């Protein structure tokens, strides 16, 4: 009976998570302005650091995809949840017959789908316009999926902060996101970092996402595919568990 009960609730949570993901996609994601905002900031930041460098613009695509996965996947939940708290629709989610983990998972899946579509558009655009080619398409697709899911789960952690003010959540999120860009090997190759820089880079999930994306394009990796995949999964599990804990703590 216990196993049947658990299996029933597991399936129910999966259905609930998918319903939440579809709701977020329709209400918050499927709008041209949101797609542009998810793409333009990473693009302008990367171009700003590329000015004056002799490297071809095509070499910027791996870094652009890595940064875009970070910003686009983690951006909407910290905006959507405070708005739903203000309009009281968030209370309906809390009263739904699903677990808080299903809520966190649903929010993360919507971020994954949104961010993944932008990253795929970047890859296709680079292939068509700049003639960039993937060294390993399966690894590149895996890198995009894992990175987007990891950062979507990270966004769900910050959206648990109990406020109706979007600015409060985004300020906290940017305190984490912006430093991640500069310590994760996107602008400064990991091989050229001092030992203390490498020690800091190892605690960033973007480090492993960027490393895996670069293997997908260039066939080279600093840590190895297995290490990148395992650590991205570990970070994702940590963020999902932490998000579940914070939602439970702040909504008791």
The pLDDT assigned to 50 comes to: 61
What whole-number distance in Å separates Cα of residue 131 and Cα of residue 139? 19
- Structure confidence by residue, pLDDT tens digits, 67-123: 889 988 888 888 888 888 888 888 777 777 778 888 888 889 988 998 898 899 888
Range of the domain at 180: 2-250
The per-residue b/e assignment along 224-236, b for 16 or more CB within 10 angstroms, e otherwise, is: ebeebbebbeebb
220, 214 Cβ separation under 8 angstroms: yes
The pLDDT assigned to 137 comes to: 93
- Structure confidence by residue, pLDDT tens digits, 17-66: 888 888 887 777 766 656 666 666 666 766 666 665 666 666 778 888 99
Model pTM? Answer: 0.88
- Structure confidence by residue, pLDDT tens digits, 169-208: 888 888 998 889 889 888 888 888 888 989 999 999 999 9
A 10 A CB-CB count for 170 gives 16
| pLDDT reading at 211 higher than 90 | yes
Q: How many domains does the chain have?
A: 1
Tell me how many degrees the CA angle 217-145-227 measures, rounded to the nearest 5.
70
């Amino acid at each position: 009976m216990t196993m049947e009960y658990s299996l029933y609730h597991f399936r129910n949570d999966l259905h609930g998570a998918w319903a939440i993901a579809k709701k977020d996609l329709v209400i918050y994601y499927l709008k041209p302005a949101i797609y542009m905002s998810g793409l333009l900031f990473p693009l302008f930041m990367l171009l700003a650091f590329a000015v004056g460098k002799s490297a071809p613009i095509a070499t910027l695509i791996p870094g652009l995809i890595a940064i875009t996965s970070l910003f686009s996947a983690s951006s909407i939940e910290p905006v959507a949840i405070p708005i739903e708290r203000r309009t009281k629709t968030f209370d309906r989610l809390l009263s739904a017959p699903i677990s808080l983990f299903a809520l966190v998972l649903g929010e993360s899946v919507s971020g994954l789908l949104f961010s993944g579509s932008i990253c795929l558009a970047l890859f296709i655009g680079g292939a068509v316009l700049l003639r960039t080619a993937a060294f390993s398409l399966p690894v590149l697709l895996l890198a995009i999926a894992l990175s987007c899911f990891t950062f979507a789960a990270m966004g769900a952690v910050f959206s648990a902060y109990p406020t109706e003010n979007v600015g409060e959540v985004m300020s906290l999120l940017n305190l984490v996101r912006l430093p991640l860009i500069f310590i994760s090997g996107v602008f400064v190759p990991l091989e050229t970092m001092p030992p203390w820089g490498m020690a800091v880079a190892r605690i960033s999930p973007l480090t492993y996402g960027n490393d895996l994306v670069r293997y997908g394009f260039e066939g080279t990796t600093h840590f190895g595919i297995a290490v990148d995949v395992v650590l991205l999964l570990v970070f994702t599990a940590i963020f999902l568990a932490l998000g579940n804990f914070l939602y439970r703590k702040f909504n008791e």
